[in-house]
Amino acid sequence: MLNQNANRQGVNRHTRNRALTGRVFNIQRYSIHDGEGIRTLVFLKGCPLACLWCSNPESQKAGPELGFIRSACKGDDGCDAPCVAACPEDAITLNVEGIPIIDRERCTACGECVEPCLEDALKIVGKQMSVAQVMDEVEKDRPFYRRSGGGMTLGGGDPLMQHQFSRALLEEAQDAGIHTALETGAYLPWDDFEPLLHHLDQLYVDLKHRDDAQHRKLTGQSNTLILSNLSRLLAVMDPKDVVIRLPLIPGCNDSTENILESARFVAEQGYKQIELMPYHTFGVSKYPQYGMEYPLAELAPQSAEDLARLRQLVGRFGLTEISAQA
């Protein structure tokens, strides 16, 4: 009897989980830098932070957005701008070259303009999907997980913005025997964050700056909640399953002082693994697609010598440096 009840509860939870929906902006298969083996990376939309160097600008807002790929648009050259006619909000006008200008205030990201464009220059990012739909995608690479020890990784944005959805995804993956990982900035009250950890095999947490004032300046939020979460994480997770990541932004957070302080903090909490993430500008070209401007001036990525020096600093605290992308 007791058993039956337990079973029924399990089934109920399963049914409830699978019906939950969330906003997903990409599902990327064969991701190999986001945890063990060959993984499917589920990008969830929305982020509580707004880091100046963000390489996924389309991930920041919680809702769907219209993206415009300038290089695909033909403009006046053989196109009579069906996008303008299709827009119910009159949010699209043309410039002198026949290139659409999107009024972001008016645009509701309804997507009416996407289909008519023959060049596929317009797209909606941020699809509402159920857990069941996401899991169907994740299941597709199971034969590859089996061989490689890979699985599902949640990323973003920040998956904690949709923590109930994230928790349901992790629970479902775990029940299905799929290895789970999460990439996050850990900006969420502990009581909401903690339940997710029980369904995780691997966790990656970013630490953007050790100093609170600087953290506010760079991300728009205080780091108090993040540091507090970092001090509690190891009560639930094994240190071998956690990697603390320091994104290295030239002139912003890659000073010797900050790296030393950050590494000291990380080591003091009992963490064993740290990853230094060199700066890159792959995301810059995405900003104009969403009517945004890249907030940082042109920065030169760290040189190999700089990186070696910073790695050495980190090594002083007995931390293992994981360089997934080297």
Partner 1 sequence: MLHEVEVNEELAVEDRDMSGGPSTERMEKLRELYMSHSHTICSERSLLVTESFKSTESLPPVMRQALAFEKVLSEMPIWIQPGELIVANIASRPRGAFLFPEYDCSWIEPELDTISSRPTDPWNIAAEDKLAIVGCMSYWKDRNLKSLINGITPEVIKEFSMVTAFTLVDMAMEGGIGHLAPNIQDVIEIGLNGFIERAEEHISRLDLTRAEDRTKHQFLQAAIICDKAVIKWAGRFADLAREQAAAEQDPQRKAELEKIAEICEWVPANPARDFRDAVQVATMVMASVQIETNGVSIGTGRLDQCLLPYYRQDIEEGKLTVDEAVELMECMWLKFSESNRVVPEYVCSNFSGYPFWIQMPIGGKTPDGLDATNELSFLFLEVSSRMHVAEPTVSARVHNRTSEKFLIRCGEAVKSHGGGHPAMFNDEVIIPSQLANVPNMTAEDANDYSIIGCSEIAFAGRGTEGLAYQGVSGPRMFELMLANTNIWNGQPLDDGGDMLQWQNFDDVWAAYKVQAKQFARFAFTQALPLVEGHNTYRPSPYISSITRDCIGRGKGHYEGGAMYGNATLNACYIGIATLGDSMMALKKLVFDDKVLTISQLVHALDTNFEDETTAPTGPEIQSLCKRVPKYGNDVPEVDLIARECLDIIVKELRQYKTEFGAIYGTTVSPVTAHVGYGMLCGATPDGRKAGTPLSDSVSPTQGADVSGPTASAKSVSSLAHVNLVQGTIYNMKMHPASMNTKAGLRNWANLVRTYFDLGGWEMQFNIVDAETLKDALEHPEEHRNLVVRVVGYSAFFVELDRATQIDIIARTEHSF
Chain residues binding partner 1 by CB under 8 A are 28-33, 37-38, 118, 140-141, 143-144, 146-148, 150, 323-326
Residue 124 or 234 having the CB closest to partner 1: 124
CB of 143 to partner 1, least distance (A): 5
What are 264's two structure tokens?
A: 């000291």
Minimum gap (Å) between residue 142 Cβ and partner 1: 10
For residue 22, the minimal CB distance to partner 1 (Å) is: 21
- Minimum CB distance to partner 1 smaller for 80 or for 293: 80
The nearer residue to partner 1, 299 or 322, going by C-beta atoms, is: 322
Q: Which is nearer to partner 1, 26 or 262 (CB)?
A: 26
Tokens 């963000």, residue located: 54
| Shortest distance, position 126 Cβ to partner 1, whole Å | 19
For the bound state, the minimum distance from the C-beta of residue 11 to partner 1, rounded and expressed in Å, comes to 28
Q: In terms of CB distance, is 6 or 118 closer to partner 1?
A: 118
* Cβ–Cβ < 8 Å for 263, 274: yes
Q: How far apart are CA 287 and CA 8, in angstroms?
A: 48
- Tell the smallest beta-carbon distance from residue 36 to partner 1 (Å): 8
Q: How far is CA 225 from CA 12, 125, 166, 207, in A?
A: 33, 29, 19, 12
Beta strand segments in the chain, E: 21-31, 39-44, 65-68, 92-94, 100-102, 122-125, 127-130, 151-156, 179-184, 202-206, 242-247, 273-277, 320-321
Cis peptide before 150 (omega within 30 of 0): no
- Sequence-distant (6+) residues with CB within 8 A of 248 are 254, 276, 277, 278, 279, 302, 307, 310
Which residue, 25 or 187, is less far from partner 1 as judged by CB? 25
Q: How far is the CB of 193 from partner 1 (least distance, A)?
A: 28
Q: Nearest-5° angle of CA 250, CA 252, CA 258?
A: 100
* Between 118 and 300, CB nearer to partner 1: 118
- The encoded tokens of residue 244 equal 């603390």
Q: How far apart are CA 222 and CA 25, in angstroms?
A: 26
Nearer to partner 1, 150 or 155 (CB): 150
Task: Write down the least CB distance from residue 81 to partner 1, Å.
Answer: 14
Angle at 130 between CA 126 and CA 135, to 5 degrees: 100
